[in-house]
Amino acid sequence: MLTDANSKAQARSHAPAIPDPAAPAGQPLSDETVLSVERLCKTIRGRRIIDDISFDVRAGEVYGFLGPNGSGKTTTIRMLVDLVKPTSGRVLVCGEDVHRHPDRALRHVGCIVENPEMYGYMTGWENLDLFARMQEVGESRIEEVARIVRLDERIHDKVKTYSLGMRQRLGIAQALLGAPKLLILDEPTNGLDPKGIKELRAFIRELAAQGMSVFVSSHLLSEIQLLCDRVAIIDGGKVIATSDVGEMLAQAEAHTLWLFEDPAAGRGLLSSDARVVVADGDREFLDESVLLALPGAIPTRVRQDDIPDVVARCAQAGVRVVAVQRVVPTLESLFLTLTGGGRDAEGS
Amino acid sequence: MPRDLELIRNETVKVWKKKRFAVILLILLVLVPIFVYAQMKIAQSSQDKFADWRAELRQRITDNTNALSSDRIPEEWKKWRIALVQQLQYYLDRDVNPNTPNAVRFTNTFLQNAVGLFIPLMVLAVASDIVSSERAGGTIKMLLTRPVRRWRILASKLVTLTLYVSLILVSTAAVSYLVAGLVFGYGGWAEPVFVGFKLQGTDLDTSAVHAVPQGVYMLMQLGLVWFSAMTVAVIAFMVSVLVRSTAASLVTMMAAVISGSILANMASSWHSAKYLFNVNLDLSVYLQGSPPPIEGMTLAFSLLVLGVWALAAIVVSFAAFTRQDILA
């Protein structure tokens, strides 16, 4: 009775809570730490922007960096690649201090910070050639990365004629040039269409499967859920939790939306059921596009195991169910659980 | 070391592909013919008026001497005229024509007039942009996250700037020589020019004066112009590091250069102005033996002032660039 998991609105921003074959499978991870962030702080004009952030990224894992806009994600990422010097703390990439020996540490890193900005007055190839020369990479590798991101047909066109998606791919090609051990992508799906997002996800999983660590920032929980093995959640410049993505989602309460032919009868029935908590107040935490797909649906909190019984009870009572849908908690509701629940941050 | 050459190559390619130099060359190809035409008109009219160059020279000496007796011209203008009259007399006494029209002469005169404003402006087209455009375009994030230390990147940009400044000067000289040659002929390399005039109060000291071939004079002049152009370039480079927007850094530098040429004309009584870089840019006055903008300035003094400014600009550029946070 679950609604079609592939309905468009849902596929775009929300995944079903039931296991998805596309979701990251628990693959064996090596214990080698590729990126190690230790007690990172940054104070700008007396204001503490980043406050004591620590986390580790292991080889071959996709690591999510989740937080709302303005939480310090980008500043942290800029510190990971030596664009911003930390006030205190350090960043190690493959054991090398990024701020003391950027020439050694950044050899293992490929990155796109915010938008992939390249020289528009040059061709894609010329751009890649510039960056290849900075790190002793040969022409054959340029050809290779252009092919990997499937840009080989347009590689000799000026970058200013590229679409946003192509620029993103060129940015990734640039990041991959030096065959890095760590790929850092800052909100990589920004501005991509759904097809592009899906391709990018598959691409990132593939890179990770080959042993590359990928560090991805996002403000969308669903994005992290579909892509990442582990996650650090940042808010107000602090890491409020680091954990396995599955564990984290299990902690946050999922909502179940109910749509009845006769809403009033349905609401009465749900309210009288001890296993179900009708939570109209939680509506603001739910993704608008999901609510749009099921207008008039009643948000509830209920254990997944209890749903079949509740549905059966509805059927017995003659209240016809149109749709029942589990929805992933949004970042806001997750924050509420994590901070309101009095959970201590593991990361610091 | 080979990687540093690759970095310099990268920076050179960027400036080239941005067509900065092409624009400068185009400006030269449009402007120089205009000046050549004007020079040709002057030569024609004096040919019509005077039987030979000696008569013309005598007339100029008389005109300037007469002007000296007028009360209405300011003191520093008088000094300049006195120096000019004595120099012209020196040429006349030795029967050397200081104004034979030829391509080398034209090139020298053009460089002499271009050193204060025209050449600095062309240099700024490259210098003001070379760092700030990376920041404005966001490409600095790609550039600084590659495994190369920041000072190496900045050094490669500085070397590239030096290459382009030199190229601009050589092209300026080459274009004016080639275009002027079409009208005045390509000769004149060996013609003598007197150098070493020294101004002692109102008297011209000619004890150290000697003749050099015009071609050598051009090289000396190019050297001095290069030094002052490099100073402007390096200061603009510093502004380009400190200011994010190319437009802002260009306007700041243009204001500095233009105010320098204004100050040079009015600051003769404000003595400490001689420590500003922008009143010292016109190094060719020393070669000509004209009085400097402010009393007490000598070639060595100006070179020292420019050198100190340039050095300070380089230090500030590197200190700022290697430390600054790239926040946006």
Minimal C-alpha gap between B326 and chain A (Å): 5
Q: Specify the DSSP class assigned to residue B118.
A: H
- Per CB-CB distance under 8 Å, the chain B contacts of A111 are 145
Least CB–CB distance from A135: residue in B13, B147, B326: B147
Q: Does domain A31-250 have CATH number 3.40.50.300?
A: yes
**E-assigned strands of chain B?**
192-195, 198-200, 203-205, 210-213
Least CB–CB distance from A103: residue in B10, B19, B148: B148
- In tens digits, chain B (328 residues) has pLDDT values of 568 999 999 999 999 999 999 999 999 999 999 999 999 998 888 888 887 888 889 998 999 888 888 777 777 778 888 888 888 998 999 888 888 889 999 999 999 999 989 999 999 999 999 999 999 999 999 999 999 999 999 999 999 999 999 999 999 999 999 999 999 999 889 888 988 888 777 777 888 888 899 999 999 999 999 999 999 999 999 999 999 899 999 999 999 999 988 888 776 678 888 999 999 999 988 988 888 888 888 999 999 999 999 999 999 999 999 999 998 7
- Per CB-CB distance under 8 Å, the chain A contacts of B148 are 103, 134-135
- Rounded Cα distance between B243 and A1, Å, is 61
Amino acid, res. B82 = I
- Residue A119, classed as helix, strand or coil, is coil
Whether residues B146 and A119 touch (CB distance < 8 A) is answered with no
Least CB–CB distance from A121: residue in B17, B147, B323: B17
Query: Which among A42, A59, A39 has a CA at the least distance from the CA of A50?
Result: A42
Whether residues A118 and B142 touch (CB distance < 8 A) is answered with yes
- Rounded Cα distance between A25 and B322, Å, is 43
**E-assigned strands of B167-297?**
192-195, 198-200, 203-205, 210-213
- Rounded Cα distance between A294 and A281, Å, is 17
- Residue B217, classed as helix, strand or coil, is helix
Whether residues B148 and A174 touch (CB distance < 8 A) is answered with no
ipTM here: 0.88
- Per CB-CB distance under 8 Å, the chain A contacts of B1 are none
**pTM of the model as a whole:** 0.86
Which stretches within chain A are classed as H helix? Answer: 8-13, 73-80, 102-105, 124-134, 139-148, 164-176, 194-209, 221-227, 245-251, 263-272, 288-293, 307-317, 331-335
Whether residues B147 and A103 touch (CB distance < 8 A) is answered with yes
**Where exactly are the structural domains of chain A?**
31-250, 255-327
Whether residues A133 and B18 touch (CB distance < 8 A) is answered with no
Whether residues A117 and B7 touch (CB distance < 8 A) is answered with no
**Where exactly are the structural domains of chain B?**
2-49+100-323
